Amino acid sequence: MIPIDAFKTTAENQWCPGCPNFGIQTALKRALSALDLAPHQVCLVSGIGQAAKTPHYIAANVFNGLHGRSIPAAIGIHIANPALKTIVTSGDGCIYGEGGNHLLHAFRRNPDITVIVHDNQIYALTKGQGSPTTRRGETTRMQFDGVAIDPSQMLATAIVHDCTFVARGYAGDLEGLSALLQRAIAHRGLSLVDIIQPCITWGNHPVEWYKERAIPIPDDHDPTHRNQAIALALEAPDAFPIGVLYEKPARETFGAVYRQQTAGKPLFELQALDPGIVRKRLAALRIDATPSFREPYKGAQ
């Protein structure tokens, strides 16, 4: 098994002392170690934010992108080199807010990547504005009279779209979170793990408030039952059922058909296209090569 110390870096950590992000970082390193994944076999992808700094503090391949744009980058990395375990790790604002549209289409495409959301119900890097998961009525440094709209329900949305693995963890439960992340990373297809991560500096509730509401999913829950899973997901933000909400038999993953055409080889192992073929295909895209586009519309007047 790969030792946890293999993922240790010398980067200076910029998180607040005692931040639950440290728990997520530790749980992720434990999961990678338990899965016997070496640092060179892993690519961590993030956007912008406090949670998005996680890849800086774990020795592995890293792509730190724009705010909300981690998922398209991760999909590109996975398509180019499916041998890498590609893991997105960023915040609720980054993935559910700025990156929400990318997440919706990732549900449709089903890439074989893991998306880990550090969900603290606040924008922490920019000092406490309401995020997509902030509860209605809560006051923040920007919403002085309280948040006026309901929070997003991205886990329920994921289940509706048949995301193949949907789970919620709690940053304060290292053992349980590590086991949950192991399952998510090992799962074939898109895995979405929302992790309740209290912000001890800018958040509206103490850690104890979250601990009381982070309750294990009942033992009799059937994770293949979509309606049951949606009902559990919709308990947030008043309660946070912890565990696997929904797990679906693997769908065809994004890029699978393409890889069948390339004998399973990733992009970086393929020969470049013949320049003549490239010129021919580009010429077919020229407007003057398709005169029908320039003909007057002859439909109903």
Q: Which domains does the chain have, with CATH numbers?
A: 4-256 (3.40.50.970)
Question: Which are the contacts of 162, defined by CB distance < 8 A and separation ≥ 6?
Answer: 107, 248, 251
Task: Give 41: exposed, middle or buried? Use CB within 10 Å, 0-12, 13-18, 19+.
Answer: middle
Beta strands in the chain, from DSSP E residues, in sequence order: 42-46, 61-64, 85-91, 114-119, 165-170, 191-196, 243-247
| 109-162 pLDDT tens trace | 999 999 999 999 988 888 888 888 988 978 878 888 888 888 999 999 999 999
Instruction: Report the share of the chain in percent with pLDDT over 70.
Output: 94
CB of 21 closer than 8 Å to CB of 54: yes
CB of 70 closer than 8 Å to CB of 64: no
CB of 169 closer than 8 Å to CB of 181: yes
pTM of the entire predicted model: 0.89
Residue with tokens 């979405």: 192
| 78-110 pLDDT tens trace | 988 888 999 999 999 999 999 999 999 999 999
Closest CA to 71 of 234, 254, 240: 254
Task: Give 235: exposed, middle or buried? Use CB within 10 Å, 0-12, 13-18, 19+.
Answer: middle
